[in-house]
């Protein structure tokens, strides 16, 4: 049977660690302490006893070596004097070379070179065995072991043995964790997720207690992920318990309803019984349970999983402040708020992602075909099912199980049915989150599911607020419950959750749309309106008007009968149905007076109908409409509830704002035909947002004096004269906290005016005809962000007067240098000089920018960096991408101890990397891509413990420093020339999925680490096991 996944047999080891040592040197001192420490960490360690060496057979010792995952070889002065030790190290090196086991030398009181070269006390000790026929074999084993990466005791914690033992134990724990969180072919998609969680778990670190949250929508695999982690690492703890379904068990016992307190008391008993290994543990109340946990649990390092938590009270009773350091508590939930309320670090909350297309297909095929690719003839149908499931594991498993063994006709019928009747099993799981909502949040959820998915968050809030919801708070609740997402400012919702919401609306009366609270299905709306059905229940309608399918006039004439309608959303190009100049019959009722929010894109009327009282309207959105004025000639209505008015890109000519005294949001952008706005003094006291993009200055200026509470004025396309700018800002009593302009000047900037406003952002773009800017910005005393784009020849020399400036950006300008005044900007945090292809130098005193966090000089012709750059002690990001003339970095660049990213991509002239770079304790990303002159990395490179990404593609680097394997979680992008040297401290294998690995492959583009790990070995040349410090290496 074909399979898209290659299967590997994973060896099961009896011991985590085998200790090899010379008993007379270290048994009762160092090794005894090391053994005890490893045991306390839950690391099952083999240490031979004295009797074994005296009488037991050597094959039993060799069996223990073969059954151990790691070896720690404690080299001491007399180690080589023992033939027993030499036999051990020889056997260990054979396992290192031939199997998936790893040896680590620990140089106790000898030099590594003495082991490699058999010199000094080691040479004298092994000389005693000259007559032994195995001497050459033993010497070779010593040399190989001495070349391995390990620990030199005198260099760890300044030789303090206790600290060194603690560090060794932590490193072995992390290595074991990395292996335990390896591939499992039965858990598709889990490997990636477990690796992503590994750093948060910090297994083996004896730091403070960590509580890790796993959140996500129902059916996404939270429990599966938590169970996989528990099964892999629970043996590393002194006690462990997996408490499944906390939400249900805190309310029920044996299927019977119980009180919350009784449920929590019972769960406390289960935790204590599991952790303390006492089946007879009893507690009499929740309070007693807490007290008992405080008394017993501080003395055991435990792993506790609390699955499906939905209330902070559960965590208070089950996961209080009573665990021993090094303990881990994993909490799965649908509601992020529960985690935050309990004080879980937001950085330790893992949001479970959906399956990728490849993962989803593999999982589906496993359930539908009992293998990892579709049967012949089912490829297209399988793709349709996987597309329907949209990456949700629960749906994939349910459908795969249902369709297993069925013919193609059954498959097609099932897919057709799913379009109208969703999978019951999926809905039942997802509806748990819905049922936990308050009533108003349930209604808000249904509005989002039926109408607002994909809409901008701002629009959704306006619409929902107009219908009486506290929208911002409600949407946050839905987001925390994993029912919606907010990405790039828009509302998102998984297809199955959207399906749930729509099913809730329709399921009570699936064939009676007149009884549905919300209408969005075209066929149902058409049937309802054409057959004169009563629609008392309908509160919301969303419909795209299609003139070729249904005459929109029929819809329009029926709307007035919907007496409970609060939200109406209509859109579609109606030019063919409503000729130019068409207007509503002013004697007919087109809109019900219950309407609270009216959205009609391309509204065809010249005004709103006179019969529409609109006294409940809170929001009006009539973008791209023909409307000339809101009401007909001579008519004036006061809409006291109106807060949002959007007429973007409409034909509006006049607007009387007296009709909306409580207006907060006004969008007239693109209203090029607008000639008059009537707004008497004091009538717009609540206005907080205005967008007048594209309106004439005469119209805009008539509003300005009334904007007493304006928060944001966005006029990015407004061509203004200096006098207009002066006129707007002359009034010193203006209360504008934020002002944003984009200026398009043909000759010069404004001369000094009264501009002096907190929070001003000045964006000078594109400046294609700007001839002079020098000496023109000093009047902007409170400017925080300043951007120049285009071909300006120089920067104003009075920048030092911008005392509050935080961001300065110059993009594609013609400047050759920066004025020295830049160095006086004490508040500056970001300096970006991007694609300034004439920029030759930076100010020598750049180091005076004491608060600078980001310096970007990419794509310039800089030849050197000033030495003072090393004084930027708060710098986090230094980007020199494509600075092809820079030949070297300052020798003391290592003084940038806060630096997290150093990007030297395409710096083709850079030669040596200064040794001081190894002092950058915070460095996480180092990019040397296309730095062809760089031949090596500093020998102490392994000191960069936080480094996550190293890119040395197309450099001259042919080897990596040995101490690189003391680093954790490193992803290397390298060239094929590194392979030989890499193999010096890795072991080639063919059959293991344990731990990190690399593929040597021919690719057209560099794959991502996730893509790399998901690939099969079938199309690759070789597969290599990496040191556990390295996550990936990509060639």
- Residue 803, pLDDT above cutoff 50: yes
Instruction: Classify residue 456 by its DSSP letter.
Output: B
Phi, psi of 948 (to 5 degrees): -110, -35
CATH label of the domain that carries residue 71: 3.40.50.10140
- Read off the pLDDT of residues 264-276 as tens digits, 9 standing for 90 and up: 999 999 999 888 8
For residue 1012, name the pLDDT band (cuts at 50, 70, 90). Answer: very low
- Residue 9, pLDDT above cutoff 60: no
Between 166-170, 218-222, 832-836, the lowest mean confidence (pLDDT) is in 166-170
- Residue 772, pLDDT above cutoff 60: no
- Read off the pLDDT of residues 486-499 as tens digits, 9 standing for 90 and up: 888 889 999 889 99
For residues 123-152, average pLDDT: 86
Residue at 391 is within a domain? yes
Residue at 520 is within a domain? no
Residue at 1027 is within a domain? no
For residues 686-715, average pLDDT: 62
Residue at 539 is within a domain? no
Between these two residues, 703 and 424, which has the higher pLDDT value? 424
Average pLDDT, the chain: 79
Domain assignment of residue 152, given as a range: 15-175
202 and 255 share one domain: yes
290 and 233 share one domain: yes
Phi, psi of 798 (to 5 degrees): -110, 30
Instruction: State the pLDDT at residue 334.
Output: 92
For residue 331, the cross-strand partners are 213, 306
Question: How far out from the chain centre does Cα 1012 lie?
Answer: 19
Integer-rounded Cα Rg, in Å, for the chain is 35
What kind and span of H or E run contains 138? Answer: helix 135-146
- Residue 696, pLDDT above cutoff 90: no
Q: Environment class of residue 88 by beta-carbon count within 10 Å: exposed (0-12), middle (13-18) or buried (19+)?
A: buried
- Report the percent of the chain where pLDDT is more than 90: 27
Between 139-148, 240-249, 759-768, 998-1007, the lowest mean confidence (pLDDT) is in 998-1007
Task: Choose one of 175, 198, 228: the last residue of a domain.
Answer: 175
- Residue 870, pLDDT above cutoff 90: yes
337 and 385 share one domain: no
Instruction: State the pLDDT at residue 401.
Output: 87
293 and 386 share one domain: no
Instruction: State the pLDDT at residue 532.
Output: 64
Residue 785: how many CB atoms within 10 A of its CB?
17
The token pair that represents 732 in the structure block: 């010193």
- Read off the pLDDT of residues 183-199 as tens digits, 9 standing for 90 and up: 455 578 777 788 778 76
- Residue 394, pLDDT above cutoff 80: yes
- Residue 600, pLDDT above cutoff 60: yes
Establish how many alpha carbons lie within 13 A of residue 1031's alpha carbon, considering only the half-sphere containing its beta carbon: 23
Q: Do the beta carbons of residue 783 and residue 801 sit within 8 Å?
A: no
89 and 107 share one domain: yes
Instruction: State the pLDDT at residue 181.
Output: 52
What kind and span of H or E run contains 987? Answer: strand 987-988
Instruction: State the pLDDT at residue 116.
Output: 86
For residue 719, the cross-strand partners are none
- Residue 51, pLDDT above cutoff 70: no
- Residue 911, pLDDT above cutoff 60: yes
DSSP, collapsed to helix, strand or coil, labels residue 881 as coil
Instruction: State the pLDDT at residue 823.
Output: 92
Task: Choose one of 405, 421, 437: the last residue of a domain.
Answer: 421
For residue 733, name the pLDDT band (cuts at 50, 70, 90). Answer: very low
For residues 653-678, average pLDDT: 88
Instruction: State the pLDDT at residue 180.
Output: 56
332 and 368 share one domain: no
The rounded distance, in Å, linking the Cα atoms of 517 and 515 is 6
Look at the chain and count its residues.
1035
Between 78-82, 212-216, 233-237, 885-889, the lowest mean confidence (pLDDT) is in 233-237
Instruction: State the pLDDT at residue 796.
Output: 73
For residue 1031, name the pLDDT band (cuts at 50, 70, 90). Answer: very low
Instruction: State the pLDDT at residue 763.
Output: 46
Residue 962: how many CB atoms within 10 A of its CB?
19
For residue 57, name the pLDDT band (cuts at 50, 70, 90). Answer: low
The rounded distance, in Å, linking the Cα atoms of 258 and 609 is 59
- Residue 713, pLDDT above cutoff 60: no
For residue 1032, name the pLDDT band (cuts at 50, 70, 90). Answer: very low
For residue 547, name the pLDDT band (cuts at 50, 70, 90). Answer: low
Our count of domains for the chain comes to 3
26 and 131 share one domain: yes
- Residue 1034, pLDDT above cutoff 60: no
27 and 103 share one domain: yes
Instruction: State the pLDDT at residue 695.
Output: 75
- Residue 992, pLDDT above cutoff 60: no
User: Where in 719-820 does DSSP place strands (E)?
Assistant: 739-743, 760-764, 783-789, 807-811
The token pair that represents 209 in the structure block: 């207690």
- Residue 82, pLDDT above cutoff 60: yes
Q: Do the beta carbons of residue 327 and residue 211 sit within 8 Å?
A: no
For residues 882-901, average pLDDT: 92
- Read off the pLDDT of residues 236-264 as tens digits, 9 standing for 90 and up: 788 899 999 999 898 887 768 888 899 99
Residue at 80 is within a domain? yes
114 and 20 share one domain: yes
Between 113-122, 302-311, 860-869, 914-923, the lowest mean confidence (pLDDT) is in 113-122
CA distances from 715 to 601, 718, 719 (A): 23, 6, 9
Residue at 101 is within a domain? yes
For residue 305, name the pLDDT band (cuts at 50, 70, 90). Answer: very high
Positive/negative CA dihedral, 176, 177, 183, 187: positive
- Residue 761, pLDDT above cutoff 60: no
Task: For the chain, give percent helix, strand, coil, nearest 5.
Answer: 35, 15, 50
For residue 12, name the pLDDT band (cuts at 50, 70, 90). Answer: low
The rounded distance, in Å, linking the Cα atoms of 44 and 42 is 6
Label residue 417 left, alpha or beta by phi (over 0 means left) and psi (-120 to 50 means alpha): alpha
- Residue 770, pLDDT above cutoff 70: no
The rounded distance, in Å, linking the Cα atoms of 56 and 341 is 59
- Residue 292, pLDDT above cutoff 50: yes
Instruction: State the pLDDT at residue 425.
Output: 85
66 and 165 share one domain: yes
Instruction: State the pLDDT at residue 1003.
Output: 31
- Residue 872, pLDDT above cutoff 90: yes
163 and 207 share one domain: no
Residue at 127 is within a domain? yes
- Read off the pLDDT of residues 923-970 as tens digits, 9 standing for 90 and up: 989 999 889 899 889 988 888 888 888 888 888 887 777 677 556 656
Which of 528, 526, 494 has the alpha carbon at shortest distance from 509? 528
User: Where in 814-962 does DSSP place strands (E)?
Assistant: 830-834, 854-856, 877-879, 901-903, 925-927, 949-951
- Read off the pLDDT of residues 328-337 as tens digits, 9 standing for 90 and up: 999 999 999 9
269 and 127 share one domain: no
The rounded distance, in Å, linking the Cα atoms of 13 and 653 is 81
> Omega of the bond prior to 766 within 30 degrees of 0, cis?
yes
Residue at 477 is within a domain? no
Q: Do the beta carbons of residue 515 and residue 508 sit within 8 Å?
A: yes
- Residue 528, pLDDT above cutoff 90: no
Phi, psi of 19 (to 5 degrees): -95, 125
Task: Choose one of 404, 421, 438: the last residue of a domain.
Answer: 421
Which of 576, 534, 575, 580 has the alpha carbon at shortest distance from 558? 534
Label residue 874 left, alpha or beta by phi (over 0 means left) and psi (-120 to 50 means alpha): alpha
The token pair that represents 311 in the structure block: 């209330």
Q: Do the beta carbons of residue 248 and residue 257 sit within 8 Å?
A: no
For residues 88-117, average pLDDT: 87
If you average pLDDT over each of 99-103, 462-466, 575-579, which comes out highest?
462-466
For residues 459-484, average pLDDT: 89
- Read off the pLDDT of residues 280-291 as tens digits, 9 standing for 90 and up: 788 899 999 999
The rounded distance, in Å, linking the Cα atoms of 712 and 284 is 60
3-class SS letters over 510-567: CCCHHHCCEECCHHHHHHHHHCCCCCCCCCEEEEECCCCCCCHHHHHHHHCCCCCCCE
The token pair that represents 353 in the structure block: 């992602």
CATH label of the domain that carries residue 314: 3.40.50.300
Between these two residues, 653 and 587, which has the higher pLDDT value? 653
Catalytic residues: 88
């Amino acid at each position: 049977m074909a399979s898209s996944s290659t299967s590997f047999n994973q060896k099961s080891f009896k011991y985590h660690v085998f200790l090899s040592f010379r008993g007379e040197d270290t048994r009762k001192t160092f090794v005894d302490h090391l053994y005890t420490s490893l045991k306390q960490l839950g690391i099952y360690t083999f240490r031979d006893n004295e009797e074994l060496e005296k009488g037991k057979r050597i094959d039993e010792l060799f069996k223990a070596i073969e059954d151990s995952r790691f070896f720690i070889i404690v080299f001491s002065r007399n180690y080589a004097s023992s033939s027993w030790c030499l036999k051990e190290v020889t056997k260990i090196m054979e396992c290192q070379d031939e199997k998936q086991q790893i040896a680590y030398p620990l140089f106790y009181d000898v030099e590594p070179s003495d082991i490699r070269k058999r010199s000094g006390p080691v040479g004298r000790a092994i000389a005693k065995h000259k007559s032994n026929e195995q001497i050459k074999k033993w010497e070779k084993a010593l040399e190989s072991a001495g070349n391995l990466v390990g620990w030199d005791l005198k260099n760890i914690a300044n030789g303090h043995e206790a600290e060194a033992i603690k560090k060794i134990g932590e490193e072995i724990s992390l290595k074991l964790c990395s292996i335990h969180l390896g591939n499992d072919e039965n858990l598709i998609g889990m490997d990636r997720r477990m690796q992503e969680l590994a750093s948060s778990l910090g297994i083996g670190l004896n730091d403070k207690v960590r509580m890790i949250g796993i959140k996500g929508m129902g059916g996404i695999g939270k429990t599966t992920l938590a169970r996989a982690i528990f099964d892999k690492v629970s043996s590393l703890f002194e006690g462990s318990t997996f408490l499944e379904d906390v939400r249900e068990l805190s309310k029920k016992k044996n299927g019977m309803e119980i009180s919350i307190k009784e449920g929590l008391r019972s769960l406390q008993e289960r935790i204590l019984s599991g952790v303390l290994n006492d089946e007879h543990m009893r507690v009499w109340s929740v309070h007693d349970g807490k007290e008992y946990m405080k008394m017993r649990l501080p003395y055991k390092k435990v792993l506790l999983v609390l699955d499906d938590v939905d209330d902070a009270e559960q965590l208070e009773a089950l996961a209080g402040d009573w665990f021993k350091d090094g303990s881990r508590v994993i909490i799965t939930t649908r509601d992020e708020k529960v985690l935050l309320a309990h004080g879980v670090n937001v950085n330790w909350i893992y949001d479970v992602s959906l399956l990728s297309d490849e993962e989803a297909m593999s999982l589906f095929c496993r359930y539908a075909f009992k293998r990892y690719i579709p049967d012949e003839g089912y490829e297209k149908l399988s793709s349709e099912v996987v597309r329907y499931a949209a990456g949700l594991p629960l749906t994939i498993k349910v459908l795969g199980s249902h369709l297993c063994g069925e013919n193609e006709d059954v498959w097609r019928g099932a897919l057709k049915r799913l379009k109208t009747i969703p999978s019951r099993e999926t809905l039942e799981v997802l509806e748990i989150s819905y049922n936990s909502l308050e009533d108003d949040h349930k209604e808000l959820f249904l509005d989002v599911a039926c109408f607002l998915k994909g809409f901008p968050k701002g629009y959704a809030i306006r619409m929902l607020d107009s219908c009486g919801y506290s929208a911002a708070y409600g949407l946050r609740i839905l987001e925390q419950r994993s029912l919606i997402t907010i990405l790039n400012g828009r509302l998102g919702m998984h297809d199955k959750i959207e399906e749930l919401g729509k099913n809730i609306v329709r399921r009570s009366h699936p064939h009676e749309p007149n009884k549905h609270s919300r209408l969005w299905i075209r066929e149902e709306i058409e049937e309802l309106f054409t057959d004169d059905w009563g629609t008392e229940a309908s509160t919301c309608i969303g419909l795209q008007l299609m003139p070729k399918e249904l005459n929109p006039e029929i819809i329009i004439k029926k709307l007035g009968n919907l007496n409970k309608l609060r939200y109406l959303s209509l859109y579609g190009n109606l030019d063919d149905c409503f000729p130019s100049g068409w207007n509503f019959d002013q004697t007919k009722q087109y809109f019900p007076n219950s309407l609270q929010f009216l959205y009609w894109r391309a509204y065809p009327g010249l005004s709103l109908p006179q019969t529409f009282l609109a006294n409940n309207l809170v929001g009006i959105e009539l973008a791209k409409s023909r409307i000339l004025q809101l009401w007909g000639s001579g008519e004036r209505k006061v809409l006291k509830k109106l807060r949002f008015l959007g007429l973007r890109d409409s034909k509006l000519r006049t607007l009387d704002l007296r009709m909306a005294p409580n207006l907060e949001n006004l969008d007239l952008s693109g209203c090029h035909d607008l000639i008059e706005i009537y707004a008497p003094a004091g009538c717009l006291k609540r206005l907080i947002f205005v967008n007048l993009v594209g309106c004439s200055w005469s119209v805009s200026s008539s509003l300005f004096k009334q904007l007493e509470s304006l928060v944001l004025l966005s006029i990015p396309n407004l061509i203004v004269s200096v006098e207009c700018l002066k006129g707007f800002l002359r009034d010193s009593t203006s209360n504008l906290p934020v002002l944003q302009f984009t200026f398009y000047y043909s000759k010069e900037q404004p001369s000094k005016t009264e501009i002096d406003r907190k929070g001003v952002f000045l964006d000078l773009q594109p400046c294609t005809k700007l001839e002079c800017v020098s000496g023109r910005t000093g009047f902007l005393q409170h400017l925080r962000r300043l951007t120049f784009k285009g071909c300006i020849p120089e920067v104003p020399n009075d920048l030092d007067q911008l005392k509050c400036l935080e961001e300065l950006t110059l993009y594609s300008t013609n400047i050759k240098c920066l004025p020295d005044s830049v160095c006086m900007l004490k508040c500056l945090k970001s300096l970006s000089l991007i694609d300034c292809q004439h920029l030759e130098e930076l100010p020598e005193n750049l180091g005076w920018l004491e608060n600078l966090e980001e310096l970007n000089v990419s794509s310039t012709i800089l030849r050197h960096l000033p030495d003072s750059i090393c004084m930027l002690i708060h710098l986090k990001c230094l980007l020199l991408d494509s600075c092809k003339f820079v030949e070297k970095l300052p020798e003391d660049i290592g003084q940038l101890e806060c630096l997290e990213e150093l990007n030297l991509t395409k710096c083709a002239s850079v030669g040596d990397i200064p040794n001081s770079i190894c002092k950058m304790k915070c460095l996480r990303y180092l990019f040397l891509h296309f730095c062809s002159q760089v031949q090596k990395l500093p020998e102490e490179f392994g000191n960069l413990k936080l480094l996550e990404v190293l890119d040395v593609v197309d450099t001259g680097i042919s080897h990596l420093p040995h101490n690189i394997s003391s680093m954790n979680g490193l992803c290397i992008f390298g060239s094929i020339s590194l392979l030989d040297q890499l193999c010096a401290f890795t072991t080639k294998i063919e059959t293991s999925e344990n731990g990190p690995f690399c593929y040597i492959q021919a690719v057209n583009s560099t794959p991502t680490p996730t893509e790399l790990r998901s690939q099969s070995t079938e199309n690759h040349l070789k597969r290599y096991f990496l040191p556990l410090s390295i996550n990936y290496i990509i060639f």
